[in-house]
Amino acid sequence: MLKEIDRCRSLTGIDRRRFLAGSASLGIAAAVVASTGAAFAQETPKSGGNLRIAILGGGSADTLDANSNVTQPDTARVLGLYEPLRSVRKGGVFENVLAESMEANADATEWTIRLRPDVLFHNGKKLQAEDVAFTFRRVTDPAAPLVGAPGLAPMDRDGLKIVDDLTLRVPMKTPYAIFDEVVADDINLGIVPVGYDPQKPVGTGAFKFESFSPGQQSVFMRFDDYWGEKAYLDSVTIIDSFASDNAAFYALQGGEIDAFAATPLALAKQVQEGGPIKILASEVGQWTPFTMRVDQPPFDNPDVRKAMRLVVDREQIIKIAMSGFAAPGNDVFSRWDGAPDRFKRERDIEQAKELLKKAGQENLTVDLVTADIANGVVTSAQIYARQAKDAGITVNVKQVTPEVFFGEQYLKWPFAQSFWTLKPYLPQVALCLLPNSPYNETHWSDPAYIKLYGEAIATIDPLKRADLISQLQIADFEQGGYIIPSHNRIIDLVASNVNGLSPGALLALGDYNYRKIWLS
């Protein structure tokens, strides 16, 4: 496929950048942002109390596994329990967490990880190099690879060498210039101790496991031997048993919970300034794509995929489904990398009709599977179905529960939706666009694309690597299986006595940084 793309197209603007605000139509959203600073004015923190958080999207398949989670409630849990070697902060800036340093040799065929000293796991064991090696081998187990396995695929798992208690040498099978970016994964690469059992979860996070009922709630207690700044809260309770957004909102109004993570903006607009509920707005760049399986008809035809993208009125989806609280997505993810702002997709119904006619798919009928897995997803599906009619496409929206969506048919739906947090481009590709990716929702498997990806991850020069990323993004834009209408912000609602929060870089509730939160 990539041979059809002009490789000589040079893209500019390759430096990392912050996620910028959208258009002038975001008046309501701007008001929300403006109210945030005053609502979270800092006072003297107080210790104690239990923070009760509502978050939707869980079910019986919920997990506490540090290296294998799917849903938003899973993410909310693991970020309190575990920590990665490194993390990504605002604007794509990386910072060390459990790692004190990470250094590559001249050709990036070997990395040396030095750990922070005096870090304890919840069971009292000291963090050592053997634990990092154990985590890497656990994730890349050939018999049962976990979510982070594709990102660690270049690693020589049999050649890991423990230099001393705090130093691990990691050889690579091929040059791997982005290893220090790949391990900056709070969600799926939390470091666990040797012998880790996810049924009895042990991490290094500021909170330790107390109890867990899948699809209902989980409780975590402050870890008093935490290596960093101690948490103020005694405990955190995450509740994912609410049947609807409205039910969670009413519980917050009634004082049954203290926070509602990732609240629909339509509910946030009901909050009165100066009242008992405060608003936290974060420009995190979450994306909620439509996913087309490129290995099955009709989406195995690139003309059909392009037509499906051309029918989208992005501003309408942003205005209605996201209440204006988003920026156009233009079918390219990872706004930090390459030159995504160059890509612009205008709605073109006539061209969509021509492409469908060329493909022999006039009067196309497809089913679109959706679920309430993230803000605005179901509404976006309904709007898309109406928009597609203008090109003669009939889209039958089939709504299922989140539990069914992420069940046995997950990754098998021909046409569905998904949600992703903002990640660097190449680690994101490893998660969703390679044949061995754990979440290859589109079943993308283009040899030329894979070859170019291999060149990019081996390229040490950041400017040259950024140019290769831009070439990969051209393929995403012109031939990929994702329709990305928008990059979304996140709204959280919290009770007036919840303090210490600041906007998150990637996730809800200040990146689920419970350590900073305190109750007045």
List of domains in the chain? 2-25+289-484 (3.10.105.10), 40-80+205-283+490-519 (3.40.190.10), 86-182 (3.90.76.10)
Residue 12, pLDDT > 50, answer no
Angle in degrees, 0-180, between the axes of helices 447-458 and 425-432, rounded to the nearest 10: 140
Instruction: Considering only residues 436 and 220, tell me which one the structure prediction assigns the higher pLDDT.
Output: 220
Residue 344 identity: K
Beta carbons within 8 Å of 297's beta carbon, 6+ residues apart: none
Q: Which residues sit opposite 235 in a β-bridge? A: 50, 221
Average pLDDT over residues 7-33: 34
Residue 447 in 3-state DSSP? helix
CA distances from 14 to 11, 283, 335, 461 (A): 8, 21, 10, 13
Tell me how far apart the alpha carbons of residues 404 and 77 are, in angstroms, rounded to a whole number.
21
Residue 134 in 3-state DSSP? helix
Q: φ and ψ at 130, to 5 degrees?
A: -65, -30
Instruction: Considering only residues 335 and 519, tell me which one the structure prediction assigns the higher pLDDT.
Output: 519
Which pair of tokens denotes residue 283? 């420009």
Residue 10, pLDDT > 50, answer no
Instruction: Considering only residues 61 and 49, tell me which one the structure prediction assigns the higher pLDDT.
Output: 49
Q: Which letter does DSSP use for residue 87 in this model?
A: E
3-17, 34-48, 249-263, 424-438: the lowest-pLDDT one: 3-17
pLDDT more than 70, % of the chain: 91
Beta carbons within 8 Å of 501's beta carbon, 6+ residues apart: 40, 280, 492, 494, 509, 510, 513, 516, 517
Tell me how far apart the alpha carbons of residues 32 and 174 are, in angstroms, rounded to a whole number.
48
6-15, 51-60, 169-178, 510-519: the lowest-pLDDT one: 6-15
Residue 387, pLDDT > 70, answer yes
* 349 burial level (CB within 10 Å; 0-12, 13-18, 19+): middle
Residue 339, pLDDT > 80, answer no
The per-residue pLDDT of the chain, averaged, comes to 90
What is residue 270's predicted lDDT score, i.e. its pLDDT? 86
Given pLDDT bands bounded at 50, 70 and 90, which one contains residue 8?
very low
| Highest mean pLDDT (candidates 17-26, 167-176, 276-285) | 167-176
Beta carbons within 8 Å of 234's beta carbon, 6+ residues apart: 47, 48, 49, 50, 221, 222
Given pLDDT bands bounded at 50, 70 and 90, which one contains residue 43?
confident
Given pLDDT bands bounded at 50, 70 and 90, which one contains residue 19?
very low
**For residue 190, what is the enclosing H or E element?**
none
Residue 190, pLDDT > 80, answer yes
**For residue 392, what is the enclosing H or E element?**
none
Q: Which residues sit opposite 155 in a β-bridge? A: 172
Nearest residue to 290 (alpha-carbon basis) of 366, 392, 391, 217 = 366
* 205 burial level (CB within 10 Å; 0-12, 13-18, 19+): buried
Tell me how far apart the alpha carbons of residues 123 and 208 are, in angstroms, rounded to a whole number.
9
Tell me how far apart the alpha carbons of residues 435 and 440 are, in angstroms, rounded to a whole number.
7
Average pLDDT over residues 433-458: 96
Residue 17, pLDDT > 50, answer no
How many C-beta atoms lie closer than 10 Å to residue 237's C-beta?
17
Average pLDDT over residues 262-274: 82
The residue behind tokens 């709630």 is: 217
Cα–Cα–Cα angle for 245, 76, 59, rounded to 5 degrees? 60
Q: Which residues sit opposite 415 in a β-bridge? A: 292
8-22, 81-95, 231-245: the lowest-pLDDT one: 8-22
Residue 77, pLDDT > 50, answer yes
Average pLDDT over residues 325-353: 87
What is residue 27's predicted lDDT score, i.e. its pLDDT? 40
Residue 4, pLDDT > 50, answer no
What is residue 114's predicted lDDT score, i.e. its pLDDT? 99
What is residue 370's predicted lDDT score, i.e. its pLDDT? 98
Tell me how far apart the alpha carbons of residues 13 and 375 are, in angstroms, rounded to a whole number.
30
Tell me how far apart the alpha carbons of residues 146 and 439 are, in angstroms, rounded to a whole number.
11
Q: Are 152 and 166 in contact (CB under 8 A)?
A: no
Q: Which letter does DSSP use for residue 514 in this model?
A: G
What is residue 123's predicted lDDT score, i.e. its pLDDT? 98
Q: Are 87 and 184 in contact (CB under 8 A)?
A: yes
